[in-house]
A and B are shown apart, each in its own frame.
Chain A
Amino acid sequence: MRQENLMVTEEKSLETERMVLNFGPSHPATHGTLRIIMELDGETVVGVRPEIGFLHSGFEKLGEYLNYNQYITITDRMNYMSPLCNNVAYALSAEKLMGIEVPRRAQYIRLLMCELSRIADHLVCVGMQAVDLGAMTVFLYCFRLREAIYDLFESATGTRLTTSYTVVGGLTRDIPHGFNDAVIKVLGQVDEVTNDVQTLLNKNRIWQNRTKGVGVITKEDAISYGITGPMARAAGVDWDIRVKEPYSSYDDFEFDVAIGLNGDVFDRYLVRMEEIRQSALLCRQAIDKMPPGEVNVDSSSKVILPPKDEVYNSIEGLIYHFEITMPNRGMKPPVGEAYVPTESPNGELGFYIVSDGSSVPYKVRTRPPSFINYSVFSKIMKGHMLSDAVAILGGLNIIAGELDR
Protein backbone atom coordinates (compact mmCIF):
# COMPACT_ATOMS: atom_id res chain seq x y z
CA MET A 1 0.00 0.00 0.00
CA ARG A 2 2.72 2.36 1.01
CA GLN A 3 4.67 1.41 -2.07
CA GLU A 4 1.72 2.29 -4.30
CA ASN A 5 1.32 5.70 -2.74
CA LEU A 6 4.94 6.41 -3.26
CA MET A 7 4.61 5.53 -6.91
CA VAL A 8 1.71 7.91 -7.39
CA THR A 9 3.41 10.88 -5.78
CA GLU A 10 6.53 10.23 -7.74
CA GLU A 11 4.63 10.13 -11.00
CA LYS A 12 2.93 13.40 -10.25
CA SER A 13 6.20 15.11 -9.54
CA LEU A 14 7.71 13.85 -12.82
CA GLU A 15 7.76 16.75 -15.20
CA THR A 16 9.00 15.58 -18.52
CA GLU A 17 11.09 17.97 -20.48
CA ARG A 18 11.60 17.58 -24.15
CA MET A 19 14.91 15.99 -24.82
CA VAL A 20 17.11 16.34 -27.86
CA LEU A 21 18.75 13.08 -28.80
CA ASN A 22 21.47 12.53 -31.34
CA PHE A 23 20.71 9.22 -32.98
CA GLY A 24 23.89 8.24 -34.75
CA PRO A 25 26.26 8.67 -36.55
CA SER A 26 27.78 5.68 -34.79
CA HIS A 27 24.65 4.04 -33.46
CA PRO A 28 24.65 0.33 -34.38
CA ALA A 29 21.35 0.77 -36.23
CA THR A 30 22.61 3.63 -38.40
CA HIS A 31 24.67 1.78 -40.93
CA GLY A 32 27.04 4.14 -42.57
CA THR A 33 27.43 7.68 -41.38
CA LEU A 34 23.96 8.89 -40.50
CA ARG A 35 23.02 11.46 -37.94
CA ILE A 36 19.45 12.05 -36.91
CA ILE A 37 18.60 14.74 -34.37
CA MET A 38 15.39 13.79 -32.59
CA GLU A 39 13.27 15.76 -30.21
CA LEU A 40 11.72 13.40 -27.70
CA ASP A 41 8.76 13.80 -25.39
CA GLY A 42 9.28 10.85 -23.12
CA GLU A 43 9.83 8.11 -25.64
CA THR A 44 7.69 9.68 -28.35
CA VAL A 45 9.43 11.40 -31.20
CA VAL A 46 7.96 14.86 -31.78
CA GLY A 47 10.52 16.30 -34.16
CA VAL A 48 13.16 14.88 -36.44
CA ARG A 49 15.94 16.57 -38.32
CA PRO A 50 18.05 14.24 -40.43
CA GLU A 51 21.52 15.62 -41.03
CA ILE A 52 23.33 14.27 -44.03
CA GLY A 53 26.68 15.08 -45.44
CA PHE A 54 29.42 13.17 -43.75
CA LEU A 55 31.23 11.59 -46.65
CA HIS A 56 31.89 14.63 -48.87
CA SER A 57 32.90 12.31 -51.65
CA GLY A 58 32.43 14.91 -54.40
CA PHE A 59 31.34 12.39 -57.03
CA GLU A 60 29.64 14.99 -59.19
CA LYS A 61 32.61 17.34 -59.22
CA LEU A 62 34.93 14.45 -60.04
CA GLY A 63 32.68 13.55 -62.96
CA GLU A 64 33.67 16.81 -64.63
CA TYR A 65 37.32 15.75 -64.68
CA LEU A 66 37.15 12.05 -65.55
CA ASN A 67 36.41 10.71 -68.99
CA TYR A 68 33.43 8.58 -69.78
CA ASN A 69 34.88 5.19 -68.94
CA GLN A 70 36.84 6.39 -65.92
CA TYR A 71 33.64 7.53 -64.25
CA ILE A 72 32.36 3.95 -64.08
CA THR A 73 34.73 3.34 -61.17
CA ILE A 74 33.00 6.19 -59.32
CA THR A 75 29.56 4.68 -59.83
CA ASP A 76 30.66 1.53 -57.98
CA ARG A 77 31.38 3.56 -54.91
CA MET A 78 27.98 5.21 -54.77
CA ASN A 79 26.23 2.03 -53.75
CA TYR A 80 28.22 -0.66 -52.06
CA MET A 81 25.22 -3.01 -51.92
CA SER A 82 24.48 -3.31 -55.61
CA PRO A 83 27.28 -1.62 -57.57
CA LEU A 84 26.41 -3.45 -60.78
CA CYS A 85 23.09 -1.65 -61.01
CA ASN A 86 24.93 1.67 -60.82
CA ASN A 87 27.41 0.57 -63.49
CA VAL A 88 24.59 -0.37 -65.81
CA ALA A 89 22.60 2.81 -65.16
CA TYR A 90 25.58 5.01 -65.94
CA ALA A 91 26.56 3.04 -69.03
CA LEU A 92 22.99 3.28 -70.36
CA SER A 93 22.98 7.06 -69.96
CA ALA A 94 26.32 7.46 -71.68
CA GLU A 95 25.19 5.15 -74.48
CA LYS A 96 22.00 7.09 -74.96
CA LEU A 97 24.07 10.24 -75.23
CA MET A 98 26.23 8.67 -77.93
CA GLY A 99 23.40 6.87 -79.67
CA ILE A 100 24.85 3.38 -79.16
CA GLU A 101 22.91 0.21 -78.56
CA VAL A 102 24.87 -2.68 -77.09
CA PRO A 103 24.48 -6.24 -78.45
CA ARG A 104 21.71 -8.38 -77.04
CA ARG A 105 24.07 -10.70 -75.22
CA ALA A 106 25.51 -7.73 -73.33
CA GLN A 107 21.99 -6.57 -72.49
CA TYR A 108 21.06 -9.98 -71.14
CA ILE A 109 24.22 -10.24 -69.06
CA ARG A 110 23.60 -6.75 -67.67
CA LEU A 111 20.06 -7.75 -66.78
CA LEU A 112 21.26 -10.94 -65.10
CA MET A 113 23.83 -9.01 -63.08
CA CYS A 114 21.30 -6.33 -62.12
CA GLU A 115 18.83 -8.91 -60.88
CA LEU A 116 21.50 -10.75 -58.89
CA SER A 117 22.44 -7.41 -57.34
CA ARG A 118 18.82 -6.76 -56.51
CA ILE A 119 18.63 -10.09 -54.68
CA ALA A 120 21.81 -9.30 -52.76
CA ASP A 121 20.66 -5.77 -51.93
CA HIS A 122 17.23 -6.83 -50.70
CA LEU A 123 18.72 -9.67 -48.69
CA VAL A 124 21.06 -7.32 -46.89
CA CYS A 125 18.26 -4.84 -46.32
CA VAL A 126 15.93 -7.45 -44.81
CA GLY A 127 18.74 -9.07 -42.86
CA MET A 128 19.97 -5.78 -41.42
CA GLN A 129 16.47 -4.74 -40.51
CA ALA A 130 15.93 -8.08 -38.82
CA VAL A 131 19.13 -7.87 -36.79
CA ASP A 132 18.24 -4.32 -35.75
CA LEU A 133 14.93 -5.63 -34.44
CA GLY A 134 16.57 -8.60 -32.77
CA ALA A 135 16.28 -11.47 -35.24
CA MET A 136 19.85 -12.64 -35.56
CA THR A 137 19.13 -15.85 -37.47
CA VAL A 138 17.54 -14.05 -40.40
CA PHE A 139 20.56 -11.81 -40.66
CA LEU A 140 22.95 -14.76 -40.77
CA TYR A 141 20.89 -16.59 -43.39
CA CYS A 142 20.67 -13.50 -45.58
CA PHE A 143 24.30 -12.56 -45.24
CA ARG A 144 25.53 -16.03 -46.07
CA LEU A 145 23.53 -16.02 -49.25
CA ARG A 146 24.78 -12.59 -50.14
CA GLU A 147 28.31 -13.93 -49.89
CA ALA A 148 27.39 -16.67 -52.39
CA ILE A 149 26.10 -14.01 -54.79
CA TYR A 150 29.23 -11.93 -54.29
CA ASP A 151 31.26 -15.02 -55.16
CA LEU A 152 29.44 -15.01 -58.48
CA PHE A 153 30.32 -11.35 -58.98
CA GLU A 154 33.90 -12.12 -58.12
CA SER A 155 34.11 -14.83 -60.74
CA ALA A 156 32.59 -12.58 -63.41
CA THR A 157 34.04 -9.17 -62.61
CA GLY A 158 37.14 -9.92 -60.58
CA THR A 159 36.02 -8.03 -57.49
CA ARG A 160 33.27 -8.29 -54.92
CA LEU A 161 32.32 -4.67 -54.30
CA THR A 162 33.94 -2.30 -56.77
CA THR A 163 32.87 -4.25 -59.82
CA SER A 164 33.27 -1.71 -62.70
CA TYR A 165 31.82 -4.37 -64.94
CA THR A 166 30.32 -2.29 -67.71
CA VAL A 167 32.07 -0.03 -70.15
CA VAL A 168 30.36 2.43 -72.43
CA GLY A 169 29.43 0.19 -75.32
CA GLY A 170 29.25 -3.15 -73.58
CA LEU A 171 30.98 -5.08 -70.83
CA THR A 172 34.59 -5.33 -69.75
CA ARG A 173 34.49 -9.08 -70.34
CA ASP A 174 32.10 -11.89 -71.05
CA ILE A 175 30.84 -14.09 -68.22
CA PRO A 176 33.26 -16.90 -67.39
CA HIS A 177 32.84 -20.50 -68.39
CA GLY A 178 30.45 -22.35 -66.09
CA PHE A 179 28.93 -19.15 -64.74
CA ASN A 180 25.39 -20.14 -65.66
CA ASP A 181 25.55 -23.38 -63.64
CA ALA A 182 26.93 -21.48 -60.67
CA VAL A 183 24.06 -18.99 -60.90
CA ILE A 184 21.46 -21.78 -61.04
CA LYS A 185 23.02 -23.31 -57.95
CA VAL A 186 22.86 -20.01 -56.06
CA LEU A 187 19.28 -19.41 -57.20
CA GLY A 188 18.33 -22.69 -55.55
CA GLN A 189 19.75 -21.31 -52.32
CA VAL A 190 17.79 -18.08 -52.88
CA ASP A 191 14.51 -19.99 -52.95
CA GLU A 192 15.50 -21.87 -49.82
CA VAL A 193 16.54 -18.77 -47.88
CA THR A 194 13.51 -16.67 -48.88
CA ASN A 195 11.25 -19.48 -47.68
CA ASP A 196 13.17 -19.78 -44.43
CA VAL A 197 13.13 -16.04 -43.80
CA GLN A 198 9.43 -15.73 -44.50
CA THR A 199 8.67 -18.73 -42.27
CA LEU A 200 10.63 -17.11 -39.49
CA LEU A 201 9.22 -13.61 -39.84
CA ASN A 202 5.83 -13.40 -41.57
CA LYS A 203 3.73 -14.70 -38.70
CA ASN A 204 6.19 -13.79 -36.00
CA ARG A 205 4.34 -11.85 -33.31
CA ILE A 206 7.31 -9.64 -32.42
CA TRP A 207 8.10 -8.89 -36.04
CA GLN A 208 4.50 -8.00 -36.80
CA ASN A 209 4.16 -5.77 -33.76
CA ARG A 210 7.35 -3.94 -34.56
CA THR A 211 6.57 -3.38 -38.23
CA LYS A 212 2.81 -3.33 -38.86
CA GLY A 213 1.33 0.15 -38.91
CA VAL A 214 4.76 1.68 -38.38
CA GLY A 215 6.06 4.40 -40.67
CA VAL A 216 3.03 4.50 -42.94
CA ILE A 217 3.50 6.34 -46.24
CA THR A 218 0.32 7.08 -48.15
CA LYS A 219 0.18 6.84 -51.92
CA GLU A 220 -0.16 10.62 -52.26
CA ASP A 221 2.84 11.21 -50.03
CA ALA A 222 4.88 8.68 -51.95
CA ILE A 223 4.26 10.57 -55.19
CA SER A 224 4.71 14.01 -53.66
CA TYR A 225 7.96 13.06 -51.95
CA GLY A 226 9.30 11.49 -55.14
CA ILE A 227 9.62 8.06 -53.58
CA THR A 228 10.31 5.19 -55.94
CA GLY A 229 11.16 1.52 -55.79
CA PRO A 230 9.96 -0.96 -53.17
CA MET A 231 8.93 1.84 -50.82
CA ALA A 232 6.58 3.37 -53.36
CA ARG A 233 5.25 0.00 -54.43
CA ALA A 234 4.57 -0.91 -50.80
CA ALA A 235 2.46 2.26 -50.65
CA GLY A 236 0.45 1.13 -53.66
CA VAL A 237 2.12 3.08 -56.46
CA ASP A 238 2.05 0.76 -59.45
CA TRP A 239 5.26 1.94 -61.05
CA ASP A 240 8.18 -0.24 -62.02
CA ILE A 241 10.54 1.18 -64.63
CA ARG A 242 11.46 -2.34 -65.74
CA VAL A 243 7.85 -2.77 -66.92
CA LYS A 244 6.76 0.75 -67.81
CA GLU A 245 9.88 2.05 -69.54
CA PRO A 246 11.86 -1.13 -70.25
CA TYR A 247 15.59 -0.76 -70.79
CA SER A 248 18.28 -3.38 -71.47
CA SER A 249 15.67 -5.76 -73.05
CA TYR A 250 13.51 -6.13 -69.94
CA ASP A 251 10.54 -6.28 -72.31
CA ASP A 252 11.60 -9.80 -73.37
CA PHE A 253 10.94 -11.11 -69.87
CA GLU A 254 7.90 -12.12 -67.90
CA PHE A 255 7.64 -11.25 -64.24
CA ASP A 256 5.21 -9.76 -61.76
CA VAL A 257 5.50 -6.48 -59.92
CA ALA A 258 4.94 -6.71 -56.17
CA ILE A 259 2.53 -4.08 -54.86
CA GLY A 260 1.66 -3.45 -51.22
CA LEU A 261 -1.44 -1.89 -49.75
CA ASN A 262 -0.64 -0.26 -46.43
CA GLY A 263 2.72 1.38 -47.04
CA ASP A 264 4.06 0.41 -43.63
CA VAL A 265 7.35 -1.25 -42.76
CA PHE A 266 5.80 -4.71 -42.90
CA ASP A 267 4.58 -4.16 -46.46
CA ARG A 268 7.98 -2.91 -47.51
CA TYR A 269 9.46 -6.10 -46.17
CA LEU A 270 6.88 -8.22 -48.03
CA VAL A 271 7.45 -6.32 -51.27
CA ARG A 272 11.19 -6.84 -50.98
CA MET A 273 10.79 -10.56 -50.35
CA GLU A 274 8.52 -10.92 -53.37
CA GLU A 275 10.96 -8.94 -55.50
CA ILE A 276 13.71 -11.37 -54.54
CA ARG A 277 11.53 -14.21 -55.87
CA GLN A 278 10.73 -12.33 -59.07
CA SER A 279 14.41 -11.49 -59.58
CA ALA A 280 15.31 -15.15 -59.24
CA LEU A 281 12.70 -15.86 -61.90
CA LEU A 282 14.22 -13.20 -64.16
CA CYS A 283 17.72 -14.64 -63.65
CA ARG A 284 16.52 -18.10 -64.67
CA GLN A 285 14.87 -16.69 -67.80
CA ALA A 286 18.00 -14.72 -68.67
CA ILE A 287 20.14 -17.84 -68.43
CA ASP A 288 17.69 -19.89 -70.49
CA LYS A 289 17.43 -17.30 -73.23
CA MET A 290 21.02 -16.01 -73.18
CA PRO A 291 21.85 -15.25 -76.80
CA PRO A 292 25.31 -16.01 -78.20
CA GLY A 293 27.55 -13.40 -79.75
CA GLU A 294 29.68 -10.44 -78.78
CA VAL A 295 29.32 -8.45 -75.58
CA ASN A 296 30.67 -5.21 -77.02
CA VAL A 297 29.66 -2.98 -79.86
CA ASP A 298 31.67 -3.13 -83.05
CA SER A 299 35.13 -1.67 -82.53
CA SER A 300 34.61 0.54 -85.57
CA SER A 301 32.25 2.64 -83.44
CA LYS A 302 35.36 4.21 -81.84
CA VAL A 303 34.10 3.51 -78.35
CA ILE A 304 35.53 0.10 -77.53
CA LEU A 305 39.22 -0.73 -77.35
CA PRO A 306 40.45 -2.96 -80.19
CA PRO A 307 41.38 -6.59 -79.42
CA LYS A 308 44.80 -6.91 -77.82
CA ASP A 309 46.39 -9.02 -80.57
CA GLU A 310 45.53 -6.29 -83.06
CA VAL A 311 47.12 -3.69 -80.79
CA TYR A 312 50.32 -5.71 -80.48
CA ASN A 313 50.54 -6.88 -84.09
CA SER A 314 49.28 -4.07 -86.30
CA ILE A 315 50.05 -0.38 -86.48
CA GLU A 316 46.38 0.46 -87.12
CA GLY A 317 45.38 -1.33 -83.94
CA LEU A 318 48.07 0.47 -81.97
CA ILE A 319 47.09 3.89 -83.28
CA TYR A 320 43.45 3.12 -82.66
CA HIS A 321 44.20 2.03 -79.09
CA PHE A 322 46.01 5.33 -78.57
CA GLU A 323 43.13 7.30 -80.04
CA ILE A 324 40.80 5.86 -77.44
CA THR A 325 42.96 5.98 -74.34
CA MET A 326 44.99 9.18 -74.67
CA PRO A 327 43.83 12.28 -72.78
CA ASN A 328 41.74 14.64 -74.91
CA ARG A 329 41.19 11.88 -77.43
CA GLY A 330 38.83 9.09 -76.57
CA MET A 331 35.17 8.92 -77.32
CA LYS A 332 33.53 12.25 -77.97
CA PRO A 333 29.76 12.31 -77.79
CA PRO A 334 27.81 15.08 -79.51
CA VAL A 335 26.80 18.22 -77.61
CA GLY A 336 23.66 17.34 -75.71
CA GLU A 337 22.36 15.62 -72.66
CA ALA A 338 20.77 12.36 -71.65
CA TYR A 339 18.86 11.03 -68.69
CA VAL A 340 18.06 7.34 -68.39
CA PRO A 341 15.98 6.13 -65.46
CA THR A 342 16.63 2.59 -64.27
CA GLU A 343 15.02 0.50 -61.56
CA SER A 344 17.77 -0.02 -59.03
CA PRO A 345 16.99 -2.05 -55.87
CA ASN A 346 16.04 1.11 -53.99
CA GLY A 347 14.13 2.87 -56.73
CA GLU A 348 14.70 5.12 -59.67
CA LEU A 349 18.38 5.52 -60.32
CA GLY A 350 19.13 7.84 -63.17
CA PHE A 351 22.26 9.46 -64.50
CA TYR A 352 21.94 12.85 -66.14
CA ILE A 353 24.94 13.54 -68.31
CA VAL A 354 25.55 16.83 -70.09
CA SER A 355 28.13 16.78 -72.85
CA ASP A 356 29.90 19.75 -74.37
CA GLY A 357 31.38 17.63 -77.15
CA SER A 358 34.69 16.92 -75.44
CA SER A 359 35.94 13.60 -74.10
CA VAL A 360 35.04 14.56 -70.53
CA PRO A 361 31.41 15.04 -69.42
CA TYR A 362 30.40 18.61 -68.74
CA LYS A 363 28.24 17.47 -65.87
CA VAL A 364 27.28 14.14 -64.37
CA ARG A 365 24.36 14.10 -62.01
CA THR A 366 23.06 11.06 -60.19
CA ARG A 367 19.42 10.84 -59.31
CA PRO A 368 19.92 8.81 -56.16
CA PRO A 369 16.99 6.81 -54.79
CA SER A 370 18.26 6.76 -51.19
CA PHE A 371 18.60 10.53 -50.88
CA ILE A 372 15.07 11.16 -52.08
CA ASN A 373 13.50 8.24 -50.20
CA TYR A 374 15.13 9.51 -47.02
CA SER A 375 13.46 12.92 -47.28
CA VAL A 376 10.15 11.47 -46.10
CA PHE A 377 11.74 10.13 -42.92
CA SER A 378 11.04 13.11 -40.69
CA LYS A 379 7.40 13.05 -41.70
CA ILE A 380 6.75 9.36 -41.07
CA MET A 381 8.79 9.35 -37.87
CA LYS A 382 6.70 11.92 -36.00
CA GLY A 383 4.47 10.44 -33.34
CA HIS A 384 6.27 7.11 -33.23
CA MET A 385 8.34 5.72 -30.41
CA LEU A 386 12.11 6.02 -30.44
CA SER A 387 12.46 2.27 -30.97
CA ASP A 388 10.39 2.53 -34.14
CA ALA A 389 13.13 4.68 -35.65
CA VAL A 390 15.21 1.54 -36.01
CA ALA A 391 12.42 -0.31 -37.83
CA ILE A 392 11.70 2.62 -40.13
CA LEU A 393 15.35 3.26 -40.93
CA GLY A 394 15.82 -0.40 -41.78
CA GLY A 395 12.87 -0.27 -44.17
CA LEU A 396 14.29 2.77 -45.95
CA ASN A 397 17.51 0.92 -46.78
CA ILE A 398 19.76 3.95 -46.74
CA ILE A 399 23.00 3.76 -48.64
CA ALA A 400 25.31 6.44 -47.32
CA GLY A 401 27.36 6.61 -50.52
CA GLU A 402 24.26 7.54 -52.42
CA LEU A 403 22.79 9.78 -49.75
CA ASP A 404 25.77 12.09 -49.73
CA ARG A 405 27.55 12.82 -52.92
Chain B
Amino acid sequence: MSVPRIISRIKEGHSDAILDVTQFAGDTTLHVKGDAILQVLKELKGEGFNFLADLTAVDNLTLGGFERFVVVYHLLSHEKVERLTVKAHVPEDDPSLASVESLWRTADWQEREVYDLYGIRFEGHPDLTRILNPHDYEGYPLRKDYPRVGRGERKDFPVVERKIGSKSPRK
Protein backbone atom coordinates (compact mmCIF):
# COMPACT_ATOMS: atom_id res chain seq x y z
CA MET B 1 0.00 0.00 0.00
CA SER B 2 1.30 3.44 -0.83
CA VAL B 3 2.02 5.99 1.87
CA PRO B 4 -0.87 8.39 1.06
CA ARG B 5 -3.30 5.46 1.23
CA ILE B 6 -1.88 4.31 4.55
CA ILE B 7 -2.26 7.83 5.92
CA SER B 8 -5.84 8.17 4.71
CA ARG B 9 -6.71 4.82 6.26
CA ILE B 10 -5.19 5.88 9.58
CA LYS B 11 -7.10 9.15 9.34
CA GLU B 12 -10.33 7.22 8.92
CA GLY B 13 -9.60 4.93 11.83
CA HIS B 14 -8.60 7.74 14.22
CA SER B 15 -10.55 10.72 12.93
CA ASP B 16 -10.51 12.53 16.28
CA ALA B 17 -6.85 11.83 17.04
CA ILE B 18 -5.22 12.97 13.78
CA LEU B 19 -4.66 16.70 14.04
CA ASP B 20 -3.05 17.38 10.67
CA VAL B 21 -0.99 15.97 7.81
CA THR B 22 1.70 18.31 6.51
CA GLN B 23 4.29 18.24 3.75
CA PHE B 24 7.62 20.04 3.80
CA ALA B 25 10.70 19.52 1.61
CA GLY B 26 9.32 16.24 0.32
CA ASP B 27 8.64 14.75 3.75
CA THR B 28 5.20 13.83 5.05
CA THR B 29 4.41 14.45 8.69
CA LEU B 30 1.47 12.99 10.54
CA HIS B 31 0.35 14.99 13.58
CA VAL B 32 -1.27 12.85 16.25
CA LYS B 33 -2.78 13.61 19.66
CA GLY B 34 -0.58 12.24 22.41
CA ASP B 35 -3.05 9.71 23.80
CA ALA B 36 -3.44 7.86 20.48
CA ILE B 37 0.23 7.59 19.57
CA LEU B 38 0.79 3.97 20.59
CA GLN B 39 -2.19 2.76 18.58
CA VAL B 40 -1.24 4.80 15.50
CA LEU B 41 2.36 3.62 15.57
CA LYS B 42 1.25 0.04 16.06
CA GLU B 43 -0.89 0.27 12.94
CA LEU B 44 1.88 1.94 10.98
CA LYS B 45 4.25 -0.82 12.03
CA GLY B 46 1.71 -3.32 10.77
CA GLU B 47 1.58 -1.45 7.46
CA GLY B 48 5.29 -1.98 6.88
CA PHE B 49 7.01 0.86 8.74
CA ASN B 50 9.15 -1.66 10.55
CA PHE B 51 12.06 0.53 11.63
CA LEU B 52 12.10 3.37 14.15
CA ALA B 53 15.02 5.41 12.89
CA ASP B 54 14.88 8.22 15.38
CA LEU B 55 12.88 9.48 18.32
CA THR B 56 13.28 12.99 19.64
CA ALA B 57 11.27 15.87 21.02
CA VAL B 58 10.84 19.56 20.29
CA ASP B 59 9.85 22.22 22.79
CA ASN B 60 7.38 24.46 20.98
CA LEU B 61 7.56 27.24 23.57
CA THR B 62 8.43 30.05 21.16
CA LEU B 63 7.68 28.25 17.90
CA GLY B 64 3.98 27.72 18.44
CA GLY B 65 1.97 24.63 17.64
CA PHE B 66 -0.79 22.42 18.94
CA GLU B 67 0.81 21.79 22.34
CA ARG B 68 3.94 22.74 24.25
CA PHE B 69 5.90 19.56 23.44
CA VAL B 70 6.01 17.37 20.43
CA VAL B 71 7.65 13.95 20.31
CA VAL B 72 8.91 13.17 16.83
CA TYR B 73 9.14 9.62 15.47
CA HIS B 74 11.05 9.07 12.24
CA LEU B 75 9.78 5.82 10.77
CA LEU B 76 11.33 3.90 7.92
CA SER B 77 9.96 1.08 5.84
CA HIS B 78 12.70 -1.25 4.62
CA GLU B 79 10.31 -2.87 2.20
CA LYS B 80 8.81 0.25 0.64
CA VAL B 81 11.97 2.39 1.00
CA GLU B 82 9.84 5.20 2.39
CA ARG B 83 10.14 7.42 5.41
CA LEU B 84 7.36 8.95 7.45
CA THR B 85 7.49 11.41 10.32
CA VAL B 86 4.92 11.05 13.07
CA LYS B 87 4.51 13.73 15.68
CA ALA B 88 2.79 13.21 19.01
CA HIS B 89 1.65 16.42 20.64
CA VAL B 90 2.06 16.48 24.40
CA PRO B 91 0.54 19.15 26.67
CA GLU B 92 2.62 21.18 29.10
CA ASP B 93 0.67 20.54 32.32
CA ASP B 94 0.99 16.75 32.14
CA PRO B 95 3.84 15.85 29.80
CA SER B 96 3.34 12.12 29.52
CA LEU B 97 3.00 9.74 26.62
CA ALA B 98 2.63 6.01 26.11
CA SER B 99 5.94 4.24 25.64
CA VAL B 100 6.53 2.51 22.32
CA GLU B 101 9.25 0.30 23.80
CA SER B 102 6.97 -2.69 23.27
CA LEU B 103 7.03 -2.07 19.51
CA TRP B 104 10.71 -1.23 19.09
CA ARG B 105 13.36 -1.94 21.67
CA THR B 106 15.40 1.01 20.42
CA ALA B 107 12.78 3.28 22.00
CA ASP B 108 14.10 2.18 25.40
CA TRP B 109 17.18 4.40 25.33
CA GLN B 110 15.75 7.08 23.08
CA GLU B 111 12.76 7.62 25.37
CA ARG B 112 15.09 7.77 28.34
CA GLU B 113 17.02 10.47 26.54
CA VAL B 114 13.88 12.48 25.80
CA TYR B 115 12.83 12.10 29.42
CA ASP B 116 16.25 13.22 30.56
CA LEU B 117 16.44 16.30 28.39
CA TYR B 118 12.77 17.36 28.09
CA GLY B 119 11.05 15.83 31.11
CA ILE B 120 8.41 13.98 29.12
CA ARG B 121 7.38 10.83 30.98
CA PHE B 122 6.74 7.65 29.04
CA GLU B 123 4.07 5.47 30.62
CA GLY B 124 4.88 1.78 30.52
CA HIS B 125 8.60 2.25 30.01
CA PRO B 126 10.49 -0.49 31.88
CA ASP B 127 13.19 1.74 33.37
CA LEU B 128 12.60 5.45 32.95
CA THR B 129 15.76 6.94 34.43
CA ARG B 130 18.06 9.66 33.25
CA ILE B 131 20.61 8.48 30.73
CA LEU B 132 22.95 11.38 29.97
CA ASN B 133 22.72 13.51 33.10
CA PRO B 134 23.43 12.35 36.65
CA HIS B 135 20.50 10.59 38.30
CA ASP B 136 20.00 13.33 40.90
CA TYR B 137 20.13 16.14 38.37
CA GLU B 138 17.32 18.65 38.50
CA GLY B 139 15.83 20.37 35.48
CA TYR B 140 15.52 19.46 31.84
CA PRO B 141 18.32 21.09 29.85
CA LEU B 142 16.83 21.09 26.36
CA ARG B 143 13.65 22.89 27.34
CA LYS B 144 13.58 26.36 25.88
CA ASP B 145 13.16 28.00 29.28
CA TYR B 146 16.31 26.34 30.60
CA PRO B 147 19.16 28.81 30.15
CA ARG B 148 22.35 27.90 28.38
CA VAL B 149 24.49 28.98 31.32
CA GLY B 150 22.84 26.46 33.59
CA ARG B 151 20.46 27.06 36.45
CA GLY B 152 22.07 26.95 39.84
CA GLU B 153 24.54 24.26 38.92
CA ARG B 154 27.42 26.29 40.20
CA LYS B 155 25.75 27.93 43.20
CA ASP B 156 27.31 25.69 45.85
CA PHE B 157 30.79 25.61 44.41
CA PRO B 158 33.28 27.00 46.94
CA VAL B 159 34.71 30.33 45.90
CA VAL B 160 38.47 30.18 45.60
CA GLU B 161 40.10 33.41 46.58
CA ARG B 162 42.93 34.22 44.28
CA LYS B 163 46.01 35.28 46.18
CA ILE B 164 48.21 35.63 43.13
CA GLY B 165 48.73 39.22 42.13
CA SER B 166 47.30 40.62 45.35
CA LYS B 167 49.49 42.09 48.02
CA SER B 168 51.41 39.57 49.99
CA PRO B 169 50.12 39.35 53.60
CA ARG B 170 53.66 39.20 54.91
CA LYS B 171 54.61 42.54 53.58
| B58 in contact (CB, < 8 A) | yes
| A352 in contact (CB, < 8 A) | yes
* Interface hits, B5-40 → A, CB 8 Å: 24-27, 29
User: With A239-B78, A404-B132 in contact, is A99–B108 under 8 Å at CB?
Assistant: no
| A270 in contact (CB, < 8 A) | no
| B96 in contact (CB, < 8 A) | no
| A367 in contact (CB, < 8 A) | yes
User: With A60-B142, A337-B24, A356-B63 in contact, is A363–B109 under 8 Å at CB?
Assistant: no
User: With A339-B85, A363-B58 in contact, is A226–B148 under 8 Å at CB?
Assistant: no
Of B58, B81, B106, B148, the most chain A CB neighbours within 10 A belong to B106
User: With A226-B53, A352-B72, A372-B106 in contact, is A97–B58 under 8 Å at CB?
Assistant: no
Cβ of A350 and Cβ of B24 under 8 Å apart? no
User: With A337-B24, A404-B132 in contact, is A367–B62 under 8 Å at CB?
Assistant: no
A–B complex contacts, Cβ < 8 Å, 29 sampled: A53-B130, A53-B132, A53-B133, A56-B132, A61-B141, A61-B142, A62-B148, A65-B148, A96-B25, A96-B26, A99-B25, A223-B51, A224-B106, A225-B106, A226-B106, A227-B106, A228-B53, A336-B25, A337-B27, A339-B83, A354-B63, A356-B62, A362-B63, A367-B53, A367-B56, A367-B74, A371-B109, A372-B109, A405-B132
Contact of A352 among B54, B59, B109, B148 (CB under 8 A): B54
In the complex, which residues of chain B have a beta carbon less than 8 angstroms from the beta carbon of A97? 25
Binding site for A on B (CB under 8 A): 24-27, 29, 50-54, 56, 58-59, 62-63, 72, 74, 76, 78, 81, 83, 85, 104-106, 108-110, 113, 117, 130-134, 141-142, 144, 148
Ranked nearest first, the 10 interchain pairs of A and B with the lowest CB-CB distance are A226-B106, A53-B132, A367-B54, A336-B24, A375-B109, A224-B105, A365-B56, A225-B105, A225-B106, A356-B63
In the complex, which residues of chain A have a beta carbon less than 8 angstroms from the beta carbon of B25? 96-97, 99, 336, 338
If A226-B51, A338-B27, A348-B53 are given as contacts, then 18 extra A-B residue pairs at C-beta distance below 8 Å, sorted by A number, are: A52-B132, A53-B133, A60-B142, A65-B148, A99-B25, A223-B51, A226-B110, A339-B83, A350-B54, A350-B74, A354-B63, A362-B63, A367-B53, A367-B74, A372-B106, A375-B106, A375-B109, A405-B132
- Which size class do A's interface residues fall under? 35 or more
Distance (whole angstroms) from the CB of B157 to the closest CB of chain A: 16
User: With A53-B131, A61-B148, A97-B25 in contact, is A223–B50 under 8 Å at CB?
Assistant: yes
- Chain B residue nearest to A367 (CB atoms) is B54
Distance (whole angstroms) from the CB of B27 to the closest CB of chain A: 7
Distance (whole angstroms) from the CB of A111 to the closest CB of chain B: 20
State in angstroms the CA–CA spacing of A237 and B50 once bound together.
12
In the complex, which residues of chain A have a beta carbon less than 8 angstroms from the beta carbon of B59? 363
State in angstroms the CA–CA spacing of A356 and B60 once bound together.
10
